[in-house]
């Protein structure tokens, strides 16, 4: 990828993050229905057109961009890599997912509070969760084969989501404020593996 493409992608990530943080702040202060997309565009310092290019709705802006696994890593995972052991390879995929810019501790705390207090956001998070579970269940079955079992793959993905929630608790409860989501999730996954071994 060229330097200009990297710079452009970096600007897109930064702009999406800024819009997301502004949407969280406005929702926290005024409720989801207490501001307009124009208010959000003004708060984020972008045009309405730019805002809609990033997020088609307030709900999407508040929830932020959905994480994306790099296609090459996803294909390597589907093919049984990079290490050849399902849980070891899931660790690699998860580390990649969390490698991008993360919400700060305060932003994550605001996001959790806003989602938990807004029924429409709870529903949207649930819909995103179900879509992600379905998608990653399919990826695991592609990798492991149908004999692995749909219910086993779905259980694994659901367990990973529960571990994510526990890791977020660790990040928010860390008195130093330095613990990253990637560190907390991987530690939580390793602890679960030890417990279930």
Boundary residue ending a domain (31, 65, 99): 65
User: Do 80 and 54 share a structural domain?
Assistant: no
Spatial CA neighbour of 80 closest among 69, 92, 70 = 92
- Ranges under pLDDT 70 in the chain: 1-6, 100-102
Q: How far apart are CA 106 and CA 172, in angstroms?
A: 8
DSSP H helix total and E strand total for the chain: 10, 0
Provide the domain count of the chain. 2
User: Do 71 and 56 share a structural domain?
Assistant: no
Residue 101 confidence (pLDDT): 56
Boundary residue ending a domain (65, 84, 115): 65
**Which CATH number belongs to the domain containing residue 60 in this structure?**
1.10.10.60
Residue 146 confidence (pLDDT): 96
Residue 35 confidence (pLDDT): 98
Which structural domain, as residue segments, surrounds residue 74?
66-197
User: Do 117 and 90 share a structural domain?
Assistant: yes
Residue 79 exposure: Cα atoms within 13 Å on the Cβ side: 8
Whether 129 and 138 have beta carbons less than 8 Å apart is answered as no
User: Do 74 and 9 share a structural domain?
Assistant: no
Beta-carbon count within 10 A of 188 CB: 20
**Which CATH number belongs to the domain containing residue 148 in this structure?**
1.10.357.10
User: Do 142 and 79 share a structural domain?
Assistant: yes
Residue 24 confidence (pLDDT): 98
Q: SS3 for 135?
A: helix
Question: How many residues are listed for the chain in this entry?
Answer: 197
């Amino acid at each position: 990828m060229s330097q200009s493409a990297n710079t452009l992608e970096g600007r897109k990530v930064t702009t999406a993050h800024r819009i997301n943080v502004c949407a969280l702040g406005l929702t926290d202060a005024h409720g989801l229905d207490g501001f307009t997309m124009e208010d959000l565009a003004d708060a984020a310092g972008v045009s309405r057109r730019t805002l809609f290019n990033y997020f088609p709705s307030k709900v999407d802006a508040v929830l932020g961009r959905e994480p994306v696994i790099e296609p090459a890593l996803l294909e390597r995972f589907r093919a049984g890599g990079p290490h050849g052991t399902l849980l070891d390879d899931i660790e690699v995929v998860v580390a990649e997912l969390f490698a991008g810019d993360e919400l700060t501790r305060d932003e994550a705390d605001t996001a959790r509070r806003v989602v938990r207090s807004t029924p429409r956001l709870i529903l949207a998070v649930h819909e995103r969760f179900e879509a992600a579970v379905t998608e990653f269940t399919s990826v695991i079955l592609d990798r492991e084969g149908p004999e692995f079992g749909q219910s086993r793959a779905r259980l694994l993905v659901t367990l990973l989501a529960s571990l994510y929630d526990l890791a977020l608790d660790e990040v928010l409860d860390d008195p130093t404020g330095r613990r990253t989501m990637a560190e907390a999730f991987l530690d939580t996954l390793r602890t679960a593996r030890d417990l279930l071994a």
